Chain A
Amino acid sequence: MARKTTQTRTAVVTVAAWTIGLLIFFPILWIIILGFKSEGDAIKTPLAVLTSDWTLASYHEVQERSNYFLHFMNSVILSLGSTLLALVIAIPAAWSMAFVPGKRTKDLLMWMLSTKMMPAVGVLVPMYLMFRDFGLLDTRIGLVVVLTLINLPIVIWMLYTYFKEIPGEILEAARMDGANLRAEILHVLTPMAVPGIASTVLLNVILAWNEAFWTLQLTTSSAAPLTQFIASYSSPEGLFYAKLSAASTMAIAPILILGWFSQKQLVRGLTFGAVK
């Protein structure tokens, strides 16, 4: 009797979960489908769309007409560049706080976190003016710096929580073995923390890739990443469903794939270790 209820229950749960899952996922599924349709077919009724012919035309056109590749590369450079730069600054900082904690370490960590709470609009005007005056508007280097700074607190926090799990005795052993600080961090700590560092990189690439305040404010064309490129489709003359869908699919696909690999780390990173 108990087993029977369990079976029906599993069936009900399965149906409910799949229905809801598909509903939530549907918009993404839909643009993937529309990307493979012609412009004419893409605006038909849903059923007509599904039964129409499949084509790669939109993908070709996006590539040819809009310099998609440049923006894709910009996204790659901005997200990887800012993440790596943040790592270089954050690894020594996280080492210090995790392995040589002082009375103020906790306050320092909290303060770092608090910089993340500052709303971007609060500094929009001066940032814009500084970028303008230093000729940094629409440059990759300027944006890499900004993205590094906005993600730095998260990078430090994530690394800190991972480093905390490494026993300090191992680093002391390295010290006894004659390793200087550089060797200790490079040959012992970093290789041991590879899984943690990898998750940190993953989460930050995702955050930087999808960042849509500074990338929209500070770039226009030559340094514009995919967020800005897609936003340019919002102007009426650029509104073509199939092409927009193809471009969107290409813009979100890499991160969708990365994201699926990082579900666990995502929770830990985004809650600053408050939920594991």
Chain B
Amino acid sequence: MTYIAKPKLHHPGLKPNKLGFTHRDYEGSISTLCAGCGHDSISAALIQACYELSIEPYKVAKLSGIGCSSKTPDYFLGPAHGFNSVHGRMPSVLTGANLANRDLLYLGVSGDGDSASIGLGQFAHCVRRGVNMVYICENNGVYGLTKGQFSATADKGSRSKTAVNNDSPIDLVSLALVLGATFVARSFSGDKKQLVPILKAAMAHKGSAIIDVVSPCVQFNNNPQSTKSYDFVREHNEAVNRIDFIESKAEITADYEPGTVTMVRQHDGSMLKLSKLHPDYDATDRAKAMAYLQERHAAGEVVTGVLFVEEQADDLHDALGTVATPLNNLTERELCPGSAKLADLNADYR
């Protein structure tokens, strides 16, 4: 178990955010994962991102499937409701929850087995629909909870402690791009500096934000021959951009040298400043992003950063034309046509 030591009293040094919440207000129960598990670092990054964004913790809904990764919503944002559903089916449960109340922030947490093996279909379809959510796949290339079998994201030729994977991998990032996701990123659990701003940008994004986070399983897939190990990812990590999340345009003071920075304005008015680390990478061009990813993957790189973002995306509610009021708030008054209308209808059936 990894303990982040919890003082009994609020630490006087804990700085409150804009809403007066401290870091502590975003924490959850104590993690029961293995010490050093990448998933715990992602939970910590989520806590940090929500704290920095001054999100009201209880206005978040956390949904997950089944797996070590899917257990983690219990370990952050204690004041928020969570739903640990069934293996591979978080996307549908999240979609339904989102339909019922469009006003919450939906965090979907999944694993690579959960998303790319048993749940590939649901992953694809919730992306296609543009469900407004932050979907995090905590990707370790194996089934942690069932003790280390390869998942569908394991690279061909990758070795675990006991086996070699001979199947081609599924790259959720490429898939998300093909399926029309409007925010696609990849990061590494060991790179909080990159992961936190990506999470913040994803939370501000309206539409399906898909984040594939390589998150090593220290128990079953952290050996040197694994492409999902800490060492491998550190060595091969190629970030395409550096992300700064800027809450409003007013905060931008400096001018940037042309061609070095892409500014993306999000639906809620926030700005994403993507400083280019690769001069020819354009995170607003879906087709080029796809080609670049294929190319670099073939060269053995793990490409990270905000890989694609569409500035003003629509979501499922836009497509369905639902009312602004959350559906779970409607009453008999809006929902029930009443007896007079029914009498008219009866006449139509005669």
Q: Are both chains from one complex?
A: no
Name A residues whose Cβ lies closer than 8 Å to a Cβ of B.
none
